[in-house]
Structure 1
Amino acid sequence: MSVEPKLVRFKQNVLSKFQIYNSIFMTLPFESITKTGVLLPLFYETCKKGFANEDDPTTIVDTFFKKYQARRNRESQINLLFRFIQYIERQVVLFDAVEDAAFPIINNMEGIGTLRNLKERAKAENKIDDLIAYLEEFKVRIVLTAHPTQFYPGPVLGIITDLTEAIKDNNLNDISSLFAQLGKTPFFKREKPTPYNEAKSLIWYLENVFYSSFGEIYNYIQQNIYIENKKHNEIINIGFWPGGDRDGNPFVKPKTTLKVAKKLKKAILKKYHLDLRALRRKLTFRNVEDRIINLETILYNYSINLNTSKTISLQDLIAELTSIKNYIIKEHQSLYVKEIDNLLNRIHLFGYHFATLDIRQDSRIHTTVFNTVINRLIENGSSWFPKNYNSLTETEQLEILSKAGSESIDIDAFEDEMVQNTLKSIEAIKSIQSTNGERGAHRYIISNNQTALNVMQLFSMLKMVAFKDQLTVDVVPLFETITDLENAPAVMEQLYTNAAYKAHLKSRGNKQTIMLGFSDGTKDGGYLMANWGIFKAKELLTEISRKHDITAIFFDGRGGPPARGGGKTHQFYSSLGPTIEDKEVQLTIQGQTISSNFGTLESSQYNLEQLISSGIDNRISGERNRLSDDDRAVMTDLAETSYQSYKNFKNHPMFIPYLERMSTLKYYSKTNIGSRPSKRGNSDKLVFSDLRAIPFVGSWSQLKQNVPGFFGVGTALKKYEDAGQFNKVEQLYSNSKFFKTLLENSMMSLTKSFFDLTKYMSKDEEFGDFWNIIYTEYETTKRLILKLTGYSALMENEPTGKASIEVRESIVLPLLTIQQYALKQIQVLEKQGVGNDNEEKKIFEKIVTRSLFGNINASRNSA
């Protein structure tokens, strides 16, 4: 049977279906303005023609009203713009659902990068034993974060799920009902979610997607690659940040962490109970049925009340199921043994914790807390800390910290809430380990980690507060800025040569997890330098770790889009080469990247398998990915040139004013999409270092100027073109899969840019020159990437991905126009001197905020 090309499948199963269902959607009777569905296509055409004629958004909106709605008064016009926003938001949902429904048709579920393909290749090359050996030490950990890039409230996510199923079944009745439900369901949150609400939203994915997809993957490996009964390395697991990530989020308290851990345990017990209930219908044999009923009853009560009198330990649950399985093999011809194995596999993966709750806090907070605690201990005559501790050198302090042991700390004696909460978070880890198992919480991440002292301060606090006998927590430094990345190897060497820390690592299997942050790196150093800085840091950290017989485990703060280190993630991991430790792939997944890449059973399984394969690919073809000295010199020079260009841009006097006054940056805090404040610090004035990466990247995305994903790349390439040495870059592109992937991801950022939207700014007295700097860099980058790749158009090698982006961009074109129109009206009013109380200004601000949602959701991974 011949299979149509991927783009043809996309056009048939996504584009055509979307057009059909959209026409049904457009005829739905909405309240108060029944003509919205008819007027929106006219507005879209006005936008399209207007931008082609280089009209500005204000002219486009005015033209539309004059041409089609001349009788409307001002209030009625504004109402129609709000209706357009509501319609477009729902069109985006429809497209998401259509695309999700078609996922297994568009993507080859048994093609390159899948486990089946991996197994067949290994079999053909007689390398099954090598594959098994690799799978015994390799792990993929995806870490779900509550970073605010998901603009869909829970009820809307539920509708998307139901709509996806209805579209798969071509069930027009259900589709119509869901459209009507969609029309009446609010798309924005009136109040900010609590961290616990965020956790509950993500636990939905654990229960409804990951429990199944992780289980299927592990079952496949157990049954088709290992082919024997013993339990192996779990290969895939989940990390979880909501409720534990305290960095910059004052609303995450220790009691939140404990509450989330309880919710995770209840959720996994409920899943086991449901599986046991299904087994009960099958295992109706003598001496088996009663035992299954007993287990099911215990799990049911335990999942409802963790304090019930009759519980069962994880070990006892495994032992009883294994005993039942062995009895069935012996007495009942192995009937339904596969189903018992499937449950045992899931218990092996998820334990009583479901996901590992990470704790994270900023090193500056730790230092403040640590100093407060130590000063109190010194006052009380500490046996470990001398009175002159604060005046000692860093080396002397490290020596004392490595020996510090049991101290009596009365947490409640500290009046400072931050001190109390930090210390109680440590107690919470210990408590979670006793209820959910050690895998429930065993990592403490130090963001903004700069020194070995940052690590050892936390190391000693963990021991003093809760882990007096044995420290069963991994301390994970997070290196974020370009400077921190450069200093990271020296910091880790200091730790590896510290006897106490080295002994701790030995007790943890001689493994050290090191987190490297993409988004703050991109914000700090620009696209090329952030990626190359992390690559080089990983190489040096690998070298220093191997020297000390430590296995470095790299944990990437990747986010979703290229500007936050995302893009084609699996291609990145398959391109790293032999100089970077590759025993594990760990990365953060957030917001709509969770729903777009892992939101359905098919997409979750497919993308997880791609990640597993990427690590194996790198192992197999590692030497081919090794960079030559010449290529390394070119890559370093490109990164340095790009960095300088980005630094000059970032230091431009109009950089902060442009973001503050011409973008949507200040409106992020009004969207109520996340529990965390949209910036660090309390200053009213916008300070670059206080800017969070998500609003920063997102604001450029809303302007359709995806600066963090390309700025500096063009300048760096042009240097080689001007010097007549472009062949050196061409050689690097030809030789390096890493560089190739970098540029392909940058192409995605360029493809999602649309400068016609803001071309009117080029004539602005104040910001015209600054806008032109960005546009020139965009044009240079686009021209030279096309020259380098030999493509005639961006993303020419990915026609399906490009087609998807084009549809999404066309859906939101009217929305972007409305947003820019509203921003311009606000600027006009502000120049007239109106205050924040002005009603007209408030309305336009509401338009800007409301239009943020659809724009971000349509891009799926733009922020």
Structure 2
Amino acid sequence: MGERSRPDLADPDESAAGAERADALARSELLRAALIGVIERYEPEVARVLRGEAPLERMSTRLLARTIQAQAIWFQLLAIAEQNRDMRRRREVERQRGHAQVRGTFAHVFHTAVEAGLDAKQIREALCSLRIRPVITAHPTEAKRVTVLERHRRIYLRLFDLESPRWTDREREDLTRAISDEVELLWLTGELKLDKPTVDQEVAWGLYFFDENLFDVVPQLYGRIEAAFAKQFPGETLELPVVFGFGSWIGGDRDGNPFVTSTVTRHTLWQMRLASLRRYRSRLADLARNLSISERAAALPEDFRAAVAAALAALPDGAGVAARNPGELFRQFIAGMLARLDATIARNGEQPEPADAARDAAPYEHADQLIGDIELMHRALVETGAQPLAKTFLAPLLREVRTFRFATVRLDIRENTIRINATLGELYRAVRGSEPPASDSAEWKDWLLTELAAPRRAGEAPLATAGLTPEAQETLATFRTVAEMRDRVDREAFGTLILSMTHSATDVLGVYLLAKHAGLFNDAQAVERCTLPVVPLLETIPDLRRAPAILKELLAVPLVQRSLRLHGNVQEVMIGYSDSNKDGGYFTANWELSKAQATMTRLGEDLGVKIAFFHGRGGSVSRGGAPTGRAIAALPAGSIRGGFRSTEQGEVVSYKYANRGTAHYQVELLASSVLQHVLLSERESALVPKHEFDEAMEAISGVSWTAYRQLMESEHLLAYLQGSSPLEELALLNIGSRPARRTQARTLADLRAIPWVFAWTQNRHMLTGWYGLGSGLAAFVEVRKARGLDLLQRMFHEGRLFRTVIDEVEKTLLTVDLDIAREFAGLVADPAVREPIFQAIEREYRLTCEMVLKVSGGRQVAERFPQLRRRLARRLQTMNQVSREQVQLLRALRDGGDDDVRTAFLLSINCAAAGLGATG
């Protein structure tokens, strides 16, 4: 989930808060001084602009580009200082009030649950039922290169070092100088991606966060849970299964991305596997240095002695290993494990190194063998009486390998219904020799069910693909890759197949049929159970409204019922925040998403199936972004069943996971928020359905949707957006491997949600995060008069979803600038296109501000969010300057501007993204 604004924290006392603000200001000033000092030596004229001594206007295009780059770097440095401040603030709360008072921690959730009357057994059962998996995607919303992220990390670490009071003045000067050096390298590093990234590069980007932080952070989360549980419930035991891990779409998401092929997916899996294997090798090498335990000093168990002897006997140089570490059985055993890991790494990939029996140890065939060896050492230490050493050195490694296995992540495959049905249509022609019926017809469904029920005969050859189009052959190859690579890489290498643009249960059955042809059923006749979980993705408003009917029809199919039993009787459903917003507007999307979850949850309970939701959120508010804790707290009561997944995209990934301290907090915040919802949501009055509230939401949504659709269906809206924003120029930014459109069509419907939001963000309309709500609220009050306003105000204070929506709209309204929006609109030459649309947006904006303030009782927009206002106040003047320059640069670029104009323009996009915290 996105984090456009920080989650609320328990505030320390006012004097302490004031001291923190002063300290944060000092740190931001330190970074600003370092930046200006660096730029003064390279571009004195740019430094004058940063100091406010010269205007941005009337500079050469080259100097303008450098100035915009400097301003973007300043926004990035300011964000680093704010992250450092947030970490210090959380520590201060813990020092003053105790760990249980820090929101977003398990200590706080356990304390709150006990106050609500829950006992250790209930909390333990809820904990062990969790299956939480944030899913990293390669959605093109991250404008920063990995090299830049690495510079940011080092600057953050130097700020962290400065927190210590132990340094002398000389040492503090050295640290400050080190920060200045990093800022200088940042200034000299190319900010723009010169070429469009390949999928391989996107995989490397995703793995960066694991190598830097996540391999450490996730196992430590388990330690935090256990410590908080032990403190809250002394004497109670807690043995956690794997409740938290990561998924990924990078290298598996082929929805409209022609560069993600079955070959690319194979390579991605090998790269992910190699990352985990190399990590374990490093960890075992560290372990060998630490576990210098002599058999003379500890009475080691006989089964461990026997295992060491067997391991040495299996090594080509077992005698040499024993001679190098005489009497140190743990080191001997780990040497054998390292030899096996080296052999495993050598066999990794499509063309593994040939084995040499005289030189190589036997590789680990799967992660469970490595887990077994670590468990053996853990038991040996415990039985020896060295429980603290087992807890310190082996328990974290055991958690790590159980979590990441030989795969690092669970890779999802995503494909769309159009491609699936086209492939099935070709199979129909090949098998039946005639044209297939329409994919929404009863005949089509009957054919699918007949094929699914037909037993595969022993020795039957695989389906012939020679006559199929390359696209259909590639789709079938994708399914066969899953069947093959799951055995070769890791049994948990794949997560699910996600079917985007699902419109019916029949669409999902088509995926089952392709899985059958690929060998993904677990019985010889391929009629009983599919081993690959299939997840419908519901994205549009009509599909969300049809969700219960789609699910009911799907779950009535015996094959689906049998398949679900393989996966804990859980049917996962993905819901799309971005496309539903694009389809129906912000308010209607949120209401329809909430209704769909509530009705599907009830349906699952009626049918005896757990419905687990996969939340397809982006970073910006209009793509589902909201503070993590609040977003989860606003989900319908009881709607987290059997698991929780959410996409993490672009700048959200770097914001959350690029720094160790922030990554620790974000992982615990997500997991503890899910647990709190599981434990308490059905006890919270703010989530109890109220008929009058639901009736009001429905009425507001109806008018809001109508207002939004009227704008969307304006004859010239696409022309307006193309002219008044850098929509078409987004591709020049090279921030993602996939195209901005699913197909080559040039319509609003075909435009992906990311460039849609990007365009409205860059031109400062921010329309996707508020449009239509003002009309909905105003109509409700106009009909119901004072009683209607009173009801809305009660909903604001008592209704969790309504409050969350109003909060996020109000934050978005603060970033709208109609004066700048008017300048962008001026890029549309035809007043007949420009004026009706801009005037409608202007009217709706003013109405929305008026109505939101009436509901919240505020005097000015977002006055309830002082921290956000302070954050934006430090940025808005510069952001507005850059936005105005972007208008001129966009005009010049379209008039045939040279490379300097292009560079300055692209840097202006980066700068606006850095200031707002998201490209879209």
Using structure 1 for the length normalisation, give the TM-score. Answer: 0.90
- Cα 1:793–1:862 shift into 2, 3 Å: farther
2:910 aligned with 1:853, yes or no?
A: yes
CA–CA distance in 2 between the matches of 1:9 and 1:431? 59
Indicate which of 63, 70, 83 corresponds to 1:80. 63
For residue 143 of structure 1, report the CA deviation from its aligned partner: 0.5
| More displaced 10-residue stretch of structure 1: 599-608 or 136-145 | 599-608
* Residue in 1 that maps onto 2:537: 478
- For 2:589, what is the secondary structure of its paired residue? helix
Number of aligned residue pairs: 820
2:241 aligned with 1:233, yes or no?
A: yes
* Residue in 1 that maps onto 2:719: 657
Give a deviation string over 1:370-418, Cα, whole Å, max 9, x none. Answer: 11123223359xxxx9999998624423431431453644565145221
2:126 aligned with 1:137, yes or no?
A: no
* Residue in 2 that maps onto 1:780: 847
2:448 aligned with 1:378, yes or no?
A: no
CA–CA distance in 2 between the matches of 1:646 and 1:611? 32
For residue 506 of structure 1, report the CA deviation from its aligned partner: 2.0
Contact 2:253 2:260 in 1 (8 A): yes
* Residue in 1 that maps onto 2:750: 690
For residue 855 of structure 1, report the CA deviation from its aligned partner: 1.2
* Residue in 1 that maps onto 2:872: 805
Give a deviation string over 1:767-818, Cα, whole Å, max 9, x none. Answer: 1332122122122212221221122333333322332233233443332121
* Residue in 1 that maps onto 2:298: none
* Residue in 2 that maps onto 1:73: none
Contact 1:562 1:749 in 2 (8 A): yes
* Residue in 2 that maps onto 1:50: none
For residue 81 of structure 1, report the CA deviation from its aligned partner: 1.3
Give a deviation string over 1:684-736, Cα, whole Å, max 9, x none. Answer: xx311111111110111111111110001111111123231211211222221
2:33 aligned with 1:23, yes or no?
A: yes
Indicate which of 136, 147, 151 corresponds to 1:155. 147
Aligned letter for 1:716? G
CA–CA distance in 1 between the matches of 2:441 and 2:655? 52
2:75 aligned with 1:92, yes or no?
A: yes
CA–CA distance in 1 between the matches of 2:31 and 2:437? 74
Aligned letter for 1:117? H
Contact 2:132 2:244 in 1 (8 A): yes
Aligned letter for 1:173? R
Contact 2:572 2:614 in 1 (8 A): yes
* Matching of residues 101-500 of structure 1 within 5 Å: 101-107=84-90, 108=93, 110=99, 111-122=102-113, 125=117, 127-170=119-162, 171-225=175-229, 231-285=239-293, 286=295, 287-303=329-345, 305-306=347-348, 307=352, 309=355, 310-312=362-364, 313-331=366-384, 333-334=386-387, 336-338=389-391, 339-379=393-433, 393-406=443-456, 408-410=461-463, 413-414=466-467, 416-470=469-523, 471-500=530-559
2:653 aligned with 1:594, yes or no?
A: yes
CA–CA distance in 2 between the matches of 1:604 and 1:19? 25
- Cα 1:29–1:701 shift into 2, 3 Å: closer
Structure 2 unaligned regions, length at least 5: 1-10, 163-174, 296-328, 356-361, 524-529
CA–CA distance in 2 between the matches of 1:232 and 1:414? 51
2:761 aligned with 1:701, yes or no?
A: yes
Using structure 2 for the length normalisation, give the TM-score. Answer: 0.85
CA–CA distance in 2 between the matches of 1:860 and 1:648? 30
CA–CA distance in 1 between the matches of 2:448 and 2:423? 17
- Over the aligned positions, Cα root-mean-square deviation in angstroms equals 2.7
Aligned letter for 1:116? A
Indicate which of 737, 756, 781 corresponds to 1:675. 737
- For 1:715, what is the secondary structure of its paired residue? helix
CA–CA distance in 1 between the matches of 2:428 and 2:17? 63
Contact 2:142 2:919 in 1 (8 A): no
- For 2:648, what is the secondary structure of its paired residue? strand
Aligned letter for 1:263? Q
* Residue in 1 that maps onto 2:306: none
Contact 1:761 1:771 in 2 (8 A): no
2:624 aligned with 1:585, yes or no?
A: no
* Residue in 1 that maps onto 2:604: 545
For residue 330 of structure 1, report the CA deviation from its aligned partner: 2.4
- For 1:358, what is the secondary structure of its paired residue? strand
CA–CA distance in 1 between the matches of 2:121 and 2:330? 37
For residue 822 of structure 1, report the CA deviation from its aligned partner: 1.9
Give a deviation string over 1:446-505, Cα, whole Å, max 9, x none. Answer: 000001111111101101112243522100010101011111211111111111111111
Contact 1:150 1:857 in 2 (8 A): no
- For 2:499, what is the secondary structure of its paired residue? strand
Contact 1:662 1:823 in 2 (8 A): no
- Cα 1:101–1:411 shift into 2, 3 Å: farther
| More displaced 10-residue stretch of structure 1: 301-310 or 784-793 | 301-310
CA–CA distance in 2 between the matches of 1:305 and 1:96? 43
Contact 1:100 1:600 in 2 (8 A): no
| More displaced 10-residue stretch of structure 1: 327-336 or 152-161 | 327-336
| More displaced 10-residue stretch of structure 1: 769-778 or 655-664 | 769-778
Give a deviation string over 1:246-287, Cα, whole Å, max 9, x none. Answer: 001000011111111111111111222222122212211232
CA–CA distance in 2 between the matches of 1:811 and 1:736? 37
For residue 839 of structure 1, report the CA deviation from its aligned partner: 4.5
CA–CA distance in 2 between the matches of 1:372 and 1:9? 69
- For 1:690, what is the secondary structure of its paired residue? coil
For residue 546 of structure 1, report the CA deviation from its aligned partner: 1.7
CA–CA distance in 2 between the matches of 1:8 and 1:272? 45
- For 1:149, what is the secondary structure of its paired residue? coil
* Residue in 2 that maps onto 1:53: none
CA–CA distance in 1 between the matches of 2:681 and 2:179? 47
For residue 5 of structure 1, report the CA deviation from its aligned partner: 6.8
CA–CA distance in 1 between the matches of 2:521 and 2:154? 50
| More displaced 10-residue stretch of structure 1: 488-497 or 750-759 | 750-759
Contact 2:612 2:640 in 1 (8 A): yes
Identity %: 22
Contact 1:761 1:768 in 2 (8 A): no
CA–CA distance in 2 between the matches of 1:846 and 1:371? 46
| More displaced 10-residue stretch of structure 1: 546-555 or 848-857 | 848-857
For residue 4 of structure 1, report the CA deviation from its aligned partner: 5.0
Contact 1:706 1:749 in 2 (8 A): yes
